[in-house]
Every structure is written in C-alpha cells, then in structure tokens.
Amino acid sequence: MGVLKERGGQVTIFIIIAVIIIGIALSIYLLVPRAETEAVFDATNPAGFMQTCLEKEIESTVETISSQGGSIVPVNYILYQDNKIEYLCYTAEWYETCVVQQPLLKRHIESEIRDDIQEEVETCFANLQENYRDDSYTVNLETGKTVVELLPKRIVTRFENYVLTVSKGETSRHDSFNVILNNNLYELSSIATSIIDWEATYGDAETTIYMTYYPDLKVEKLKQTDGSTIYILTDRNDGNKFQFASRSVAWPPGYAESVINET
C-alpha cells in the first residue's frame, strides 16, 4: 500500500511539472513579440509602420487576384484545379471570336486591390494613432483616399490627402505614406492584355513569341474540353504568376476530329 501511495505521489508531481512547463511555453508564445508579423512602432517613422502593417495584406491580395484572372470575386469564370479563373475574353458561341471582358485590365486590377485592402488600411491607421496615444502624443489624422498603382517591377499604394499631425512638446506633420511591394504584376498583366488582343482578333495566340522576347517568362497554354483556354504566365526568377482564361473560336466536341478524318 505504501508503494502505491509513493507512486501516486510521483505521478501527481509529474503532472504538476508538466502543467507548469506548458504554462511557461504558452506565456512565451503569447508575450514575446513576433517581429515578422507585427508592425514595430517608431514615433519618428509612421510611414515605416504603415509599410510593415500593410505589406503582407497587399501581398496576399495580389496573390489571390493573380490566380483568378485579375478579380477578387470572379463573375464569368472557369474552374481549374479548384480555382475560379476569370475569362478576360469570352464568347458563348461556337466558331466566333471572343469579346474582351476587361478592356482596361490594369485599371481594373488596381481598383480590385484598393477595394480589398481598404478595411486593413483603416485598421493600420487606427493602430498607428493608438501607438502614438500610448506614448502620450496628441494625435490628429485627416483621411483622404487610397490609390493603388501598378508600375514596372512594383506595386505602389499611396494615401492621398492623408495628414497625420502628432505633438508632444513639439508638433510634427506627416503627409507622405507609400507602401511599396516588389512585384511584376504590371509586366504580367501587360502581356496578358496582348494575348487577349490576339484572342479577340484571331481566336488564338502564339505564345512562343512572348517567351522569345522575354527569356525569363514561361507561358503555359492549356486547352480545355469546352473550347476554353487557360493561360498561365510565370516569371522564372521569382515564381510570380498571373493566370486567366479565354474562350474564342471554340469548336464543338468531336468537330475537329471529324474534319481531320474527312481530309
């Protein structure tokens, strides 16, 4: 009986120690700052705070848009590997060339990014003000509008007419907030626009031309059974992709084979 009590006491001690260890681990996880995900506040550099706060959100939005043909919520799309890929050129008819669905693709993508990140923009500015207040600053923020621009090799998000005034002894005014994401969506969407022009004019596009002019570009052209074509543009250097769909001069199933057999 004494041995059993002794063993029971040892088990109780082990359980207590395990609970303490788990508690310490949870405390470390919850309390230690995770710099890779949280914006670090510096009273002298509010623009840096906004860059860190928004960069991951913009990157996620751009990745979603790039995988879906330029839209956050595709309307006219084809399913491919569980992805909804927007038609940038489309006709429901057989043998007919397609009609361009997004004639201003660059502008459309910019507005899609802007609308999708707007809530996070407001959250980041609110967090920025709260950090100043926690540091005993008086804060005033005049808001304006968010502008997203696709530029060569980068995506720039600007906050026009945003003015942040902070004071603690001295007053400082900040009116330049730019968040820059290194990404070549400008180049990929421009090539997509060129391919769509071919599809709308001739019903097809010769993709090897693009890979000849742009050695770092990989162009995949995937024909689907319904007459659609999925294009996947990939930058070989960084893996950035833009994929979209087209349906132009489509033939009914079996028609091509019958023509070949007759000839």
What are the pLDDT digits (tens) for 182-210? 999 999 999 999 999 999 999 999 999 99
Cβ neighbours of 54 (radius 10 Å): 24
Burial class (CB in 10 A: 0-12, 13-18, 19+), 257: exposed
Cβ neighbours of 163 (radius 10 Å): 15
Domain count, the chain: 1
pLDDT at 109: 98
pLDDT at 9: 53
Burial class (CB in 10 A: 0-12, 13-18, 19+), 234: middle
Within a domain: residue 39? no
Q: How far is CA 232 from the centre of its chain?
A: 16
Strand 145-151 versus strand 154-160 pairing type: antiparallel
Q: 148 Cβ partners below 8 Å, 6+ apart?
A: 110, 111, 113, 114, 117, 155, 156, 157, 158
How far, CA to CA in Å, does 161 sit from each of 23, 155, 167, 234, 235?
47, 19, 19, 36, 35
What is the value of pTM for the model shown? Answer: 0.82
Within a domain: residue 63? yes
- Nearest Cα residue to 130 out of 35, 43, 36, 32: 43
Within a domain: residue 32? no
Q: Which two tokens stand for residue 133?
A: 């207040």
Within a domain: residue 31? no
Q: What is the pLDDT tens value at each position of the chain, 263 positions in all?
A: 444 445 455 545 555 555 455 554 444 444 434 334 468 899 999 999 999 999 999 999 999 999 999 999 999 999 999 999 999 999 999 999 999 999 999 999 999 999 999 999 999 999 999 999 999 999 999 999 999 999 999 999 999 999 999 999 999 999 999 999 999 999 999 999 999 999 999 999 999 999 999 999 999 999 999 999 999 999 999 999 999 999 999 999 866 544 434 43
pLDDT at 28: 41
pLDDT at 39: 80
Q: 71 Cβ partners below 8 Å, 6+ apart?
A: 65, 86, 108, 112
Within a domain: residue 72? yes
Within a domain: residue 40? no
Within a domain: residue 5? no
Domain housing 82: 46-262
Within a domain: residue 183? yes
pLDDT at 37: 44
